[in-house]
């Protein structure tokens, strides 16, 4: 009986799926064979073209059957096209790339990259093939925003096909998570809580790629700093914050980041007013007074940026209830009397 059990264990352990230690060979960037790199580069170009053109047929031509099955079931192809169409041009850069070989299929691959100071990360994924290739592509969304496309290919016969693809923010205003984190710390030293919060929110977005495949080591530090800023803000500002120097005493409900396409990320000030939204002239007059006083309420909110956005409400928005509002855009780049 013992001999039979031993033979069964040996048989199980020579199967491809056995979870015994195995050798993982990974080449990075310049270490990768030029011919392999050239093959994948062509597929990367085909991928970007398919995404920008919104051509799902072309996308599926370079996608594995397993991923196609997943997309057909959860309709994630629509989401992929939405992300893809946001890419503004077909020029992209390769941030990092890895070629990995394992002895069996369906093995968990772990890659650690510590070569980028402040942007160290780990990659973890299930390798469906004995050969896999990871391309980390940076593409423009607009003039101030870059996205990271993490693509993991598997080798199917002579072809490299996509097994995994993730989209995530990479940079805002030319700064990645590390740079935005540094900006947030500088703003806090100047007691500029609003800009510190804007920068740490962008840093968090860049340090939290979708899924579990890519993880930055700075993620926890950024999260902790966001918590710190929130605690400071909560102690300093008890919302709603009334502006008592204005007769109508508008109440600031919150300040949050807002993206304006091809312009950037700017603070949006939500406030409650007693002025009826239909009385546009009175609303505008009140908003002009708010603009003049907002910098004394929130230090730095109207400095070193192009816009501040405002939303006026008669009723405080709660839950999923749709509440009417009137919007204003304060263009700080224009000359004012």
Secondary structure (3-state) at 49? helix
Containing structural domain, residue 168: 22-172
Give the contacts of 84 (CB within 8 A, at least 6 positions apart): 50, 51, 52, 54, 59
Domain count for the chain, please give it. Answer: 3
- Rounded-to-integer distance, Cα 196 and Cα 183, Å: 7
Answer whether residue 14 is part of any domain. Answer: no
225 shares its domain with 264:
no
110 shares its domain with 185:
no
Residues linked to residue 244 through DSSP beta bridges, in sequence order: none
Answer whether residue 336 is part of any domain. Answer: no
Angle at the Cα of 76 from the Cα atoms of 71 and 82, rounded to 5 degrees:
135
Report pTM.
0.85
**Per-residue pLDDT at 257 exceeds 80:** yes
311 shares its domain with 282:
yes
Measured N-to-C along each axis, helices 193-207 and 177-189 cross at an angle, to the nearest 10 degrees, of: 160
Answer whether residue 50 is part of any domain. Answer: yes
Using the 3D structure, point to which of 172, 193, 225 is the last residue of a domain.
Answer: 172
167 shares its domain with 182:
no
Answer whether residue 71 is part of any domain. Answer: yes
pLDDT tens-digit profile of 217-254?
999 999 999 999 999 999 999 999 999 999 999 999 99
Answer whether residue 128 is part of any domain. Answer: yes
228 shares its domain with 266:
no
What is the arithmetic mean of pLDDT over 21-39? 93
70 shares its domain with 31:
yes
Contact 59, 80 (CB under 8 A): yes
Sheet holding 264-272, edge to edge: 241-242, 251-260, 264-272, 307-313, 325-331
Answer whether residue 10 is part of any domain. Answer: no
141 shares its domain with 197:
no
32 shares its domain with 142:
yes
162 shares its domain with 186:
no
pLDDT tens-digit profile of 81-138?
888 888 988 899 999 999 999 999 999 999 999 998 889 999 999 999 999 999 999 9
Amino acid 153: pLDDT = 98
Answer whether residue 13 is part of any domain. Answer: no
250 shares its domain with 131:
no
% the chain with pLDDT above 70: 92
% the chain with pLDDT above 90: 79
Using the 3D structure, point to which of 172, 197, 222 is the last residue of a domain.
Answer: 172
Task: Answer left, alpha or beta for residue 97, where phi above 0 means left and psi between -120 and 50 means alpha.
Answer: beta
153 shares its domain with 295:
no
């Amino acid at each position: 009986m013992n001999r039979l059990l031993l033979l069964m264990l040996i048989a199980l352990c020579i199967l491809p799926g056995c979870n015994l230690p195995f050798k993982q060979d990974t080449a990075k960037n310049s270490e990768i064979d030029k011919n392999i790199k050239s093959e994948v580069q062509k597929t990367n170009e085909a991928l970007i073209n398919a995404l920008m053109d919104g051509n799902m047929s072309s996308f599926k031509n370079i996608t594995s059957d397993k991923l196609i099955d997943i997309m057909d079931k959860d309709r994630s192809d629509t989401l992929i096209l939405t992300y893809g169409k946001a890419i503004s041009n077909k020029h992209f850069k390769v941030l990092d790339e890895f070629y990995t070989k394992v002895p069996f299929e369906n093995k968990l691959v772990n890659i650690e990259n510590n070569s980028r100071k402040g942007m160290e990360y780990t990659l973890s994924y299930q390798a469906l093939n004995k050969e896999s290739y990871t391309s980390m592509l940076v593409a423009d969304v607009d003039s101030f925003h870059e996205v990271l496309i993490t693509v993991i290919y598997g080798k199917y016969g002579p072809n490299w096909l996509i097994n995994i693809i993730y989209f995530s923010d990479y940079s805002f205003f030319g700064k990645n998570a590390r740079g935005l984190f540094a900006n947030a710390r500088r703003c806090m030293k100047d007691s500029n809580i609003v800009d510190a919060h804007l920068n740490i929110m962008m840093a968090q977005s860049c340090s939290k790629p979708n899924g579990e495949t890519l993880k930055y080591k700075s993620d926890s530090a950024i999260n902790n700093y966001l918590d710190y800023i929130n605690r400071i803000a909560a102690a300093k500002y008890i919302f709603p914050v009334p502006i008592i120097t204005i007769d109508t005493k508008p109440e600031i409900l919150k300040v949050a980041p807002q993206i304006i396409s091809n312009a950037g990320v700017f603070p949006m000030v939500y406030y409650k007013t007693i002025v009826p939204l239909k009385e546009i002239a009175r609303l505008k007059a009140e908003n002009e007074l708010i603009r003049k006083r907002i910098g004394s309420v929130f230090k730095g909110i109207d400095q070193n940026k192009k816009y501040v956005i405002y939303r006026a409400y008669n009723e405080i928005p709660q839950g999923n209830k749709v509440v009417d509002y009137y919007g204003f855009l304060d263009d700080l780049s224009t000359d004012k009397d």
